[in-house]
Amino acid sequence: MLTLRTANRVLKVLKTTQICKQPFHRWLAPTLRELKRRKDSLGPDKPVHRKTFLEWNYDTEIYAFSKRLGEEFNNDLLQQALTERSYIIREEERQKNVGIEQPTLNLSDNKELVSKGSDFIDDVVKRYLRTVLPRLPEEGIIGIHKYLTSIETLSHVSFHIGTSELILCAEFPVEKLTLSNVLKSITAALVESSGDSRAALFVRDFIITQIADKDLHQFWEPEEPIKLLSEILARDGIQSPEPRLIGSSGKNTILACFRVGLYTPHNKQMIGLGFGETVDIAHEMAARDSLRKLFGTSDNILLPFNLRLDQLCESNVKNLFVNEWSQQILPTRPMHYELRMAKEICSN
As a three-state string, the secondary structure of the chain is CCCHHHHHHHHHHHHHHCCCCCCCCCCHHHHHHHHHHHHHHCCCCCCCCHHHCCCCCHHHHHHHHHHHHCCCCCHHHHHHHCECHHHHHHHHHHHHHCCCCCCCCCCCCCHHHHHHHHHHHHHHHHHHHHHHCCCCCHHHHHHHHHHHCCHHHHHHHHHHCCCCCCCECCCCCCCHHHHHHHHHHHHHHHHHHHCHHHHHHHHHHHCHHHHCCCCHHHCCCCCCHHHHHHHHHHHCCCCCCEEEEEEEECCCCCCCEEEEEEECCCCCCEEEEEEECCHHHHHHHHHHHHHHHHHCCCCCCCCCCCCCHHHCCCCCCCCCCHHHCCHHHCCCCCCCHHHHHHHHHHHC
Task: Verify cis geometry, omega within 30 degrees of 0, for the bond prior to 334.
Answer: no
What CA–CA distances, in Å, run from 83 to 13, 40, 44, 53?
55, 36, 29, 20
- pLDDT (tens digit, 0 to 9) for every residue of the chain, 348 residues total? 445 555 566 556 555 555 445 566 788 888 889 888 988 888 887 877 777 777 788 889 999 999 999 999 999 999 999 999 988 888 888 888 887 777 777 888 899 999 999 999 999 999 999 999 999 999 999 999 999 999 999 999 999 999 998 998 888 888 999 999 999 999 999 999 999 999 999 999 999 999 998 889 999 988 899 999 999 999 988 888 999 999 999 888 889 999 999 998 888 889 999 999 999 999 999 999 999 999 988 877 788 898 999 989 888 889 999 999 988 888 776 655 445 555 554 455
- Closest among 86, 274, 273 to 178, alpha carbons compared: 86
Distance CA 48, CA 199 (A): 32
Query: Residue 220 region, left (φ>0) first, then alpha (ψ -120 to 50), else beta?
Result: beta
Quote the pLDDT of residue 193: 94
Query: Could you give the CA distance from residue 208 to residue 176 in angstroms, rounded to a whole number?
Result: 19
For residue 266, the one-letter residue type is H
Task: Report which of 122, 176, 127 is spatially closest to residue 147, judged by C-alpha positions.
Answer: 122
Threshold 0.75, pTM exceeds:
yes
Structure confidence at residue 53 (pLDDT): 78
Give residue 17's pLDDT.
52
Q: What is the pLDDT of residue 2?
A: 47
Question: CATH fold of 222-295, please?
Answer: Double Stranded RNA Binding Domain (3.30.160)
Through-space distance between the first and last CA atoms of the chain, rounded to whole angstroms: 70
Name the phi and psi angles at 247, rounded to 5.
Answer: 180, 150
Domain parsing of the chain, residue ranges: 52-212, 222-295
CATH code given to domain 52-212 = 1.10.1520.10
What pLDDT is attached to residue 137? 93
Contact 51, 61 (CB under 8 A): no
Give the bridge partners for 244, in sequence order. 261
Which pLDDT value is given to residue 337? 45
Count other Cβ atoms within 10 Å, centred on residue 112.
12
pLDDT of residue 281: 94
